[in-house]
Amino acid sequence: MAERDWYLINDIDSLDTPALVVYPDRVKQNIIMLIGMIDNAERLRPHVKTFKSKEAALLMMAAGITKFKCATIAEAEMLGMCHATDVLLAYQPVGPKLKRFIKLIKAYPDTHFSCLIDNAFAAGEISVSAIGNNMQITVYLDLNIGQNRTGIKPDETALQLYKDCVKLPSIIPVGLHAYDGHIHNPDFEMRKTECDEGFEPVLKLQSAIKEEGFPEPIIIAGGSPTFPIHAKRKAIECSPGTFVYWDKGYETMLSEQPFLPAALVVTRVISKPDETLICLDLGHKSIAAEKELGSRVYFINAPDLIPVSQSEEHLVMDAGKDHSYKVGDVLFGMPYHVCPTVALYERAITIENEHISGEWKNIARDRKITI
């Protein structure tokens, strides 16, 4: 089979659509490529938001990756179920979420869980909960280095918060979390410049904390766009996530990264409303729809189709006059944003040796597994 036809499924007639399909062999190749892009796999802390399945996590663990990052209690619990060694909840747990986080720590003692803080009130609440449950909780200071979403600016205020956290009983500040998800420049050198400028204050804060007599803080930095940049630094832990499945958005933007598309949406032509239009069973409920209509899905075997409209269960495409598409034709789509697309599916159908081989349950797409 030609490389351009890697996605074909010989028993496609048994697959109902729309469907999310995953190619495990390509997932394994992506994991190997990721490890090859850094000097030590111990510096990898992949984010699990993309794949949301135990099977993909276990493939990473089998390859030597022991640390992970996640954003929800369900994602953290999935990793606990896999007996992952070290899991950062890259979120500041407040209110009921803090109670769930405490229960999570108790339920999965084989996994070391940590979380983020960015203000004194939340740090105090975590400390009180830890004391009340006779445990110590590891925390990282969440830094705002330009995204303006969460975090504290890496200045004297951040230094003071770190020092205050050291004094709080039952929480242990060990590091800094610096996510630069706002940096998306397709030009690598310009992206590197932006990344370096944003990261410089983080290094200064790290030095200031060390000068206060504390152990050198661990730094967890970046996502997929800045991964190759942070990977070249010494001792920094890196947190790419999309690499495992890859998507059209990053394939287009991050041309320097060699990852393979390993997850697709499969759809069928269900109607031909006029001589130029075809309708697919790929609505908002089946593909991430936060981007504009033309940047939601790229059809590998039908790249010339032009999107016209989309609703909950339908995607209308302009195929042009005298097109040859028939009702029942199968199209293979590469999501522009695979992470929220995966969250739309209860399961991913695995394709091996060009045949359906099983399924991976996307259990961490739920808000709750057991906790």
Beta strands 330-335; 263-271: pairing state: antiparallel
CA atoms of 222 and 92, how far apart (whole Å): 18
Average pLDDT, the chain: 97
Using one digit for the tens of pLDDT, what is the confidence trace for 263-297?
A: 999 999 999 999 999 999 999 999 999 999 999 99
Angle at 100 between CA 98 and CA 106, to 5 degrees: 110
- Is residue 1 scored above 70 in pLDDT? no
Would you kindly state where each structural domain of the chain is located, as residue ranges? 24-246
Amino acid at 125: E
User: What is the model's pLDDT at position 4?
Assistant: 64
Using one digit for the tens of pLDDT, what is the confidence trace for 133-155?
A: 999 999 999 999 999 999 999 99
Average pLDDT, integer, range 311-337: 98
Average pLDDT, integer, range 113-137: 98
Using one digit for the tens of pLDDT, what is the confidence trace for 227-262?
A: 999 999 999 999 999 999 999 999 999 999 999 999
Instruction: Give the CATH fold of the 24-246 domain.
Output: TIM Barrel (3.20.20)
Where do runs of H (alpha helix) occur along the chain? 24-36, 54-62, 73-81, 96-107, 120-132, 156-167, 188-211, 227-230, 248-253, 338-342
Average pLDDT, integer, range 2-27: 93
User: What is the model's pLDDT at position 43?
Assistant: 98
Alpha-carbon distances of 194 from 12, 180, 184, 229, rounded to whole Å: 45, 10, 9, 11
The closest of 249, 247, 307, 248 to 280, measured between CA atoms, is 307
CA atoms of 359 and 332, how far apart (whole Å): 18
Using one digit for the tens of pLDDT, what is the confidence trace for 25-44?
A: 999 999 999 999 999 999 99
* Residue where the block lists tokens 């004194």: 120
- Yes or no: say if 239 and 46 are a contact pair by the CB < 8 Å rule: yes
